[in-house]
Each structure stands twice: as C-alpha cells, then as structure tokens.
Structure 1
C-alpha cells in the first residue's frame, strides 16, 4: 500500500493553478448566493471563501454547497472537499491504470461480468450488428467513450430509426460508439423517478486488504437519459443502512423535499438490497487494485446491484446542513480509512 498522507507538492501546485485561474466575478456571485441563503455580508463571505480556499482546501462551490457560512471551524473540518479529493485521486490512482476508468469501452471490457447487461461497440462495417442490437432491445443508450458529467450520452428507440445505414454512420460521426442495453431499475427506484435510471454513487477506498465505503449518495433524475445535475438531477446522502438522511438538493440552490415529477418524499427513500450492494462494491473495488480511491456508480435492479461505471476522480458528494439539520460531514471516515 502507498504511504499515507498527502504531500505538500500537489497541494502547492493546486493552489498556484487555482490562483492563476481565479474568477473574481464568479467568487462574488457565489458570495451573493450565500448572502441570499444565510444573510451574511458579501464582502465578509468573499474574504472567508478566499481564506478557506487557500488555507483549508475548500473549493468555492464547496463553500456554498455545504453551508460553510453557518458552520463553525470545527464543523467545517468534518467536510470532504473537492481539492482534497483531487489530491487523493492523484495519489491513489496509478497513471498506467487510469485509462480503464477514463474510457468507457475499456471499463466495460474489464468489468463486463459486473455490468449484467449487453453492450456493443460501433465500428465501420457493423451496421447490421448495430441494427440487430437496437431492434433486440427496442431502446438503447449510446455513449461517447470518454466524457464527463453525463455528457455524450443519448437514448435511441428502434421504432424511430428510418434509415439504419444513416443511423450507423451518425453514431460513428458523433463518436457515440458504445451501445448498451437499458438497465431495468428496482421498483423502489422507479417509484421516485421512472423515466431515468437512478444511480447510487458509492465512494470507496481499497487499502490493499479491506474495502472501505466512505460515502453513499443517491442520485435522482428528471426523466432524461442521465441523472447528472447537467440534466436537472439532484441527490441525497444515504446512511450506512441505505436510508436517505434528508431531502434532495443540487449545486444550483434547488432543494427537493419531494421529487418534482412524482411527489415521492425524498427523505423516505430506502435503497433496496443494501447488504448486497456492500458486498458488490467489495468485489468490484478489488478488480484493479492499482486504483484504490474510486467513485462507483451502481444501479439496484430487481435482482440486485449492477455496475454503471467507476470514476478514479471520485468527486465529492456531501451533506448539506441547511437541508438535513446535520452539521457534520464525511471527512473523518475518509481520514480513518485512508490515513491522511
């Protein structure tokens, strides 16, 4: 196992790069959001945000999302932040193995037995195979192999295709060359949002012996092909038993006591098959031991969990105190498991 702790070098490089790219206007706009939410003076918020970024590794959006303006210094210290997560990702993902998580086709090949769905790569000359695949499944998901935040993902319906040669050609031109069978989600997930396959983000760390689950976030869509925020999605944190700890929220200031489309009370959500999900993560996290810190996206189907993808740049999903009433975050769990 690599040595524990985060070295000073990556942090200094991050701070220098962040200072070079700082957008003062963006900082002020975020400070205004904080003022509207919590009544704090904008100049004081700006100063606090800059101080927190420089000294506490707090991204500006983290400051807004996790309600730092109303937290004490001790409470703030319990929250995981994106800069710290980025440093962990860089330290605990061997560069030679990151491509397995960056390229969806390579990921599918390595983790095929955990996907539990059919998939096909679009290539020159396989228009007939593409047609057969799409017609077999009726609706499929097409993905760009390298993308982020749910971008480059589209749904296609066989009944809407008039020219299969043109359809095949269009997939190649748009680089939507990974086709997948649509995942059937558990009825408990469909009850919240039936139009989107709602994924569970499980951030985990493989210390070489044990796999530690650090945080669990349940994402919900709004009927689009993806549940990412760029598609109108939001999330809620789950406790160790898989139960929501409060309402849903996003990084755009929206809070959802109930799902906007179905009226489902988000705080009442319970992830089914939670014990099976834990065992599933323990297995998948050991497949590529050279990448220890991963944000795993899974979907619970009627028969148990299936794997969507893994993110070596795990990102951060955290508690929002003004929504849940809980004024602490998950960082102590990260520290205990990883030792930084």
Structure 2
C-alpha cells in the first residue's frame, strides 16, 4: 500500500487554518444541527476534529451528512483534502496546464470532442460569423475557468453587428467557440435546455483506466449544469443507474427535476459499455496525469468529451437523501492503493 505524503496534507491544513472563517463554520454547524438534531457546539467540535484528524473538509462534513454517520461509515467517504493529495501525487505538474487551458485541451483531445470548435483571434471575424450562422447557436468559453464560469451561449439570430460581436468576444476573453453538443434523448428527457454532463472520476495505472465514481449532473436550462447555474447531481452505480434523488451543496433535494418532472432515481445513463471504453481511451492521451475528473456527454452516437479536471474534486453519496450510508473511498483504495 502506498502512503500519501504528509507534506501536501500539512500544507493543506495550514492553508485552511489561515483562511478559516469561524462564522461560516458555525453557520454550517447550525445547518447540520437543525437537520440531525444535535447541539451546535458538539457539531462545531466534531467538524474541527474531523478536518484536523481525518482529512474532512467543512463542506464535505455537511454535504455527506457526517453528523449522522458512525466513524466506520465516515471512513468510506472520499473527501476533498484526500482528493487534493491524490492530485498532487499522481498528476505531474508539468502536464497539468493542458487541462487548465481549454484551448490547449481541445487541441490535445481533438479526436475525442466530436464537435466543431474555433479559436477567436484578431482578424477572423468572418470565420466567427460563418461558423455561428451555420450552427445557429454556439457556446463560448474563456480558456481559464472552472465550475462553469466563463461559459456563455449565443444565438446567431440575436447578433446584428458581427464585427462588434467579434470585438466583444476578444475583449471579454471568450476565445473558444464550440458547437452545442446534441445530447442523447434520455438526457434531454430530464433537462432539454442544458447539455447534462456526466462526471467520471478515474485513475490510469499505466495500463488501464479504472472508474472510481460517477455523478450525473443536471441543469436548469442555463448554459451550464454547474451548481452556480442552479444545477444538481445524483450519483450513479457502476452500471450507470441513479442511486437516488438529486441534490446540491445548498441543501436542495430533487426527487424529480423541477422543470421536467422526471424522477431522478429512474435515470439510466445510456451506452454504459461505450462510456467505459471511452474513458480508457481518453486517459491514455496524457498518461502523466493519472487522476482525472472527466466530464463527458452521451450523445445519440455515444460519449463525447467536454473537459478533464486534473484536480478531480469529489462527488459523493448523500445518506439523508439516498439512505445509503457508505461512500466511494474503498474503491479509490482498491485501485490506487493508499
């Protein structure tokens, strides 16, 4: 078994200690107290102890209902501090930039995108117009961004001055234009107005990509399915079936999609065999970055790649919603051996 280095953990804890917002911790504790009927001081102490001793982020504690779990159950949950340590250990720093820059990512993974894209540059206003008019609707992205920030959607019918539109893209740093992905009908049935992505966290051991966890994200009609746009997610089992209702980090639970009425627990990701094979292929493109959170969309023809996140983040089961009181850390340990 490979032990994770103490140095990244210590740096993380020191950074958290410097940035700790006591008021925020207390507010989170009040939220957990109201839900799980435990005294606020008890939860505050437990949150601080869990962070210092067991690598549990404050938001992890709330999101995964640690106040209602036993110590053994908590130990099955993947947390952001542990995920950060894995990223630092298994994602080589000199290759991370490929995943941080969306334009470079598209160049490197072009054969797996299965959609048109264009870089906005000085002097290519005519190309931007031609592509936008032919596609009808486009998505623009700022090269450096996360959690859906810097993503915009435009319709050709709404644009009158193409030179001004081009100048605006340049000035705002929206330098990447992409064709809107056509998602599978089973995804559109839940939310047709947003391209709904599947977050697949995987580890490439040099020979094979191992799927560690899968989360299905659903939007609310906006350009992105991220929580900052009102989105939420549900965990999928190894066969791509939802394990329960949807939820987010703001205390919202969705038995059904608020707009379509689709029952989230009934969702089944199509083309699951193809998805597994697809993850194994994309993981080989930059093998120096082994631990990645891949965002894919299943289309009528199979999966396509949206982006890869070298800082994979964590999506986990929520016990109070699903009734399942265990997480995915045993799978991570089985594959990675920490």
Instruction: Pick the TM interval, shorter chain.
Output: over 0.9
DSSP-derived class of the 1:322 partner: helix
In the other structure, the counterpart of 2:2 is: 4
Deviation at 1:5, TM superposition (A): 2.4
DSSP-derived class of the 1:183 partner: coil
In the other structure, the counterpart of 2:16 is: 18
In the other structure, the counterpart of 1:148 is: 146
List per-residue Cα deviations over 1:195-253 (Å, max 9, x = no partner): 00000000000011121100000000000000000000000000011000000000000
In the other structure, the counterpart of 1:94 is: 92
1:170 maps to which of 143, 163, 168: 168
2:216 maps to which of 218, 221, 227: 218
Normalised TM-score (structure 1): 0.99
- 1:26-37 equivalent positions in 2, closer than 5 A: 26-37=24-35
In the other structure, the counterpart of 2:188 is: 190
Please say if 1:159 is aligned against 2:144: no
Q: Distance in 1 between matches of 2:209 and 2:186?
A: 27
List per-residue Cα deviations over 1:98-127 (Å, max 9, x = no partner): 011000000000000000000000000000
Aligned length: 338
- 1:279-290 equivalent positions in 2, closer than 5 A: 279-290=277-288
DSSP-derived class of the 1:64 partner: helix
Deviation at 1:4, TM superposition (A): 3.1
Deviation at 1:300, TM superposition (A): 0.2
List per-residue Cα deviations over 1:38-63 (Å, max 9, x = no partner): 11110000000000000000000000
In the other structure, the counterpart of 1:133 is: 131
List per-residue Cα deviations over 1:108-164 (Å, max 9, x = no partner): 000000000000000000000000010010000000000010000000000000100
Deviation at 1:23, TM superposition (A): 0.5
List per-residue Cα deviations over 1:22-42 (Å, max 9, x = no partner): 110000000011012111110
Q: What stretches of structure 1 of length at least 5 have no aligned partner? A: none
Q: What stretches of structure 2 of length at least 5 have no aligned partner? A: none
Q: Distance in 2 between matches of 1:117 and 1:51?
A: 48
In the other structure, the counterpart of 1:267 is: 265
In the other structure, the counterpart of 2:198 is: 200
List per-residue Cα deviations over 1:254-289 (Å, max 9, x = no partner): 000000000000000000000000000010011101
Normalised TM-score (structure 2): 0.99
Q: Distance in 2 between matches of 1:301 and 1:167?
A: 30
Runs of 4+ in structure 1 over 6 Å off: none
Deviation at 1:20, TM superposition (A): 1.1
In the other structure, the counterpart of 1:42 is: 40
